[in-house]
Amino acid sequence: MLSRTADHVYWLGRYAERAENLARTLDVQYRLSLLPHDGRSDLHGWTQVLASLGLAGAFAERHAACEPHKVIDFLAFDTSNPSSILSCLRAARENARAVRGSISSEMWETFNATWLEARAQAPSRFTALNIAEFIDWVKYRAHLARGVVLGSMLRDEGYHFMQLGTFLERTEGVARLLLVRLACTPAGDADGAVAHEYYPWSVLLRGLSAFEIFRRVSRDTVSPRRVLEFVILHQHVPRSIYRSANLVYENLQAVANAQSGETERRAGLLHAELRFGTLPTLAPQGSEPFLHALLARAADLSDRIGRDFLGHVA
Amino acid sequence: MDRSNPPYDEMYTADGHVRPHYASYADWLTRQPDDTLRQRRAEADSLFHRVGITFAVYGEQDGNERLIPFDIVPRVLSADEWRKLAAGLRQRVRALNAFVGDIYHGQDIVRAGLLTPEQVFCNPQYRPEMQGMDVPGGIYAHIAGIDVVRAGQGEFYVLEDNLRVPSGVSYMLEDRKMMMRLFPELFALNRVAPVEHYPDRLLENLASVAPAGVAAPVVVVLTPGAHNSAYFEHAFLAQQMGVELVEGQDLFVRNGFVYMRTTRGPQRVDVIYRRIDDDFLDPLVFRPDSVLGVPGLMSAYRAGRVTVANAIGTGIADDKSVYPFVPEMIRFYLGEEPLLNNVPTRILRRKDDLAYTLAHLDELVVKEVHGAGGYGMLVGPTASEAEREDFRLRILASPEKYIAQPTLSLSTCPTFVEQGVAPRHIDLRPFVLSGRDITIVPGGLTRVALRAGSLVVNSSQGGGTKDTWVLES
């Protein structure tokens, strides 16, 4: 497959997943803001969301004060923010358009229709004040696109590069979501079972479509430590970090070429650590340093994939 | 071609009777309420948007892609009309290929005095780089889009031979798909010849002209990129043929062969269906500022290690200054009488043609010989006095740049417009594939001038398209 084509499908996967992760991030933060809280802790949450995405500076350039609905608007609809949901949907569509001859027609039509509809409805039906509807819609379109990919795409290199992009992006997205939550959890609470942490961490689970699964498999109360362990290490939760890293490794093996050995080794090592490690051994200094290191490893893998396969220059 | 008579209508005779091959459709149409038709047309628009069958308009920089308006009333040709037209197209394309081969080899036609040396060698479309080079099968115009109109009593006239990178075939295919989706019952009522196999024929045709000795040729479609106005078509054809859609940056030349950059290293390319103009193909030979092309492509091409389709330099045969001589070419190369009419054309380089034209500007269509897409054209009868005056000065300044033709009263076809179904002028672009054989998928792209009375069918100038039916019996 053409390196340029692989590059576009890889980024198609990344941007589509990024839009969904953002929607889930907004979902969590928005639900938290509906819980009883003082105004300061709500603002703190939104500030942490911006910081975790590296967007604090970009937001400050556009808005004098941090107000929740402005943050929502900035993250969901602001097309001058290249990381907004709308911008990601457009970028996914542009990448799909660039390779529309190499993906299935149904895939192209789905990504195209998602962008056209988002653009048409963003100023009227979808607004910051009515963000829950937009979040649901983005998640629904993501589910639809996933189904179309599964149901219509040839399992060739293009599919594997798209999956690579998807699961690297998911690894990062979930790690960031956990970091935001940890930054909002008082020191000392993160590792214990504290009653007032029940709501924020169960909201996080719901944002990852994992609350019911947690209930079923853990048969225990919601605590920060248990949720962290569950979201980072569980083998069968669709959005767990272990499962995302595992799929990165599997899809990487499927496209391996003469120069990708070291990249495979690094992906395999990450997969093995998460598969056989435990939280205390993996994160002896606590979950935050571990998650930051994980983000750095994901970025390294992305760079290496670019060089090994996608024609990027070192 | 008398303009005082009403134009030939595809569906109705002059005294208002439905032509036999339209009978079944006309009967169906009278039973459709306008509202239903309107609703179906809206449905077509939304489908075209979703599927992204759009084109970018040059000069509109906001990045918005536009739809080419699709008309729901088909253009129908009887089996007999098509047989005659197809025979004429085959003949014409055979002669045009022979002409290009002759120009780049012995130039017999110049020796015979039918064309002057300066008409050939001073023409900017002549590519000296092609001189003396053999191409597989002697085929230059692998894909030809011949623009045909009907005038007078329905006679076919060739308006233009497009032998460089003719576009529009994707609309032929998508219009059919849309008609079948919107009005499936019509295809049960009429025996419409299928066109869906065009991409197969195209691939077969391209593979048949691969460099000698290549067993399983690798074919690619070369596009200028996603910002090109015809990008949809490039992607569509690559997808339908199951071949890679490449940009110049994806290809490189090493040791005399052309390769593409893939995730598993370089892969050799044997046939390039290029949708980029000659000028941009190879910065080492043509425009040095081109970033769309492939440095070294021309040398690999000249060495016979890759086939470029259409060949470089075919513009010498579809140039408007050469067009008037096509009937002579047919006689010269094939020893046959032309089956299709040429539009009588005045060549303003000639003194008497110039004088006649200047005296009859209000009756004639004047075209720039190197213009394309409906730009640089004067339609005398509908132009304003000022426009005609402006053109008069331009002609006088350099008469050799212009030709003039009578204003053909293009045939009309019923078309669904705001006021309901009304006649609008149309043309037809059938696509002729030349390789080991000549193949023509029955039909082509019918373009329609949506404004009442307008003769300009170009999509860049507000034209639309129709599904084109060739009936099997």
One domain for residues A215 and A309: yes
Q: Are A48 and A184 in contact (CB under 8 A)?
A: yes
One domain for residues A172 and A140: no
One domain for residues A126 and A180: no
Chain-chain contact of A105 with B264 (C-beta, under 8 angstroms): no
Instruction: State chain B's mean pLDDT as an integer.
Output: 91
One domain for residues A108 and A252: no
Q: How far does A70 lie from chain B, in Å, by closest CA?
A: 27
One domain for residues A120 and A3: yes
User: What confidence tens digit (pLDDT) does each residue in A75-90 have?
Assistant: 999 999 999 999 999 9
Domain boundary, last residue among A133, A154, A175: A154
Chain-chain contact of B261 with A98 (C-beta, under 8 angstroms): no
Chain B, nearest residue to A110 by Cα:
B50
Q: Is the pLDDT of residue B3 over 60?
A: no
Q: Is residue B280 part of a domain?
A: no
One domain for residues A173 and A299: yes
Q: Is residue B353 part of a domain?
A: yes
Chain B interface includes A259 (CB < 8 A): no
Please list every residue in chain A whose beta carbon sits closer than 8 Å to the beta carbon of residue B263. Answer: 1-3, 6, 157, 161, 255, 257, 309-310
Chain B interface includes A311 (CB < 8 A): yes
Chain-chain contact of A6 with B263 (C-beta, under 8 angstroms): yes
> Which structure tokens are listed for A19?
């839009």
Distance between CA atoms of residues A31 and B94, nearest Å: 72
Domain holding B359, by residue range, is 344-407
The least confident of B32-46, B97-111, B186-200 is: B32-46
Q: How far does B216 lie from chain A, in Å, by closest CA?
A: 17
Q: How many domains does chain A have?
A: 2
Chain A, nearest residue to B225 by Cα:
A98
Q: Is the dihedral of CA B70, B76, B81, B82 positive or negative?
A: positive
Q: Is residue B380 part of a domain?
A: yes
One domain for residues A127 and A238: no
**Beta strand residue intervals within B263-298, DSSP E:** 265-268, 271-274
Domain boundary, last residue among A127, A154, A181: A154
Q: How many domains does chain B have?
A: 1
The pTM score is 0.86
One domain for residues A199 and A180: yes
Chain-chain contact of A6 with B246 (C-beta, under 8 angstroms): no
List C-alpha distances in Å: B205 to B201, B209, B217, B438, B461. Answer: 6, 7, 12, 9, 32
CATH code: domain of residue B349 = 3.30.1490.270
Please list every residue in chain A whose beta carbon sits closer than 8 Å to the beta carbon of residue B239. Answer: 100-102, 105
Q: What is the mean pLDDT of residues B224-238?
A: 91
- A85-98 helix and A3-34 helix, angle to the nearest 10 degrees: 160
Q: What is the mean pLDDT of residues A193-221?
A: 87
Q: Is residue B247 part of a domain?
A: no
What's the ipTM? 0.77
One domain for residues A44 and A75: yes
Distance between CA atoms of residues B469 and B74, nearest Å: 7
> Which structure tokens are listed for B201?
């024929």
Distance between CA atoms of residues A128 and A210, nearest Å: 25
User: What confidence tens digit (pLDDT) does each residue in B163-217 have?
Assistant: 999 999 999 999 999 999 999 999 999 999 999 999 999 999 999 999 999 999 9
Chain B interface includes A96 (CB < 8 A): no
One domain for residues A95 and A110: yes
**Beta strand residue intervals within B16-67, DSSP E:** 54-55, 66-67
Distance between CA atoms of residues B64 and A207, nearest Å: 35
DSSP-derived 3-state class of residue B84? helix
Q: Is residue B355 part of a domain?
A: yes
One domain for residues A55 and A115: yes
One domain for residues A13 and A121: yes
The least confident of B295-304, B342-351, B370-379, B411-420 is: B370-379
pLDDT for the residue A314: 65
Instruction: State chain A's mean pLDDT as an integer.
Output: 93
pLDDT classification of B229: cutoffs 50, 70, 90: confident
List C-alpha distances in Å: B248 to B220, B222, B259, B290. Answer: 11, 7, 11, 10
Domain holding A189, by residue range, is 159-314
pLDDT classification of A264: cutoffs 50, 70, 90: very high
Please list every residue in chain B whose beta carbon sits closer than 8 Å to the beta carbon of residue A109. Answer: 50-52
Q: Is the pLDDT of residue A72 over 90?
A: yes
Domain boundary, last residue among A105, A125, A154: A154
Chain-chain contact of B265 with A258 (C-beta, under 8 angstroms): yes
Q: Is residue B17 part of a domain?
A: no
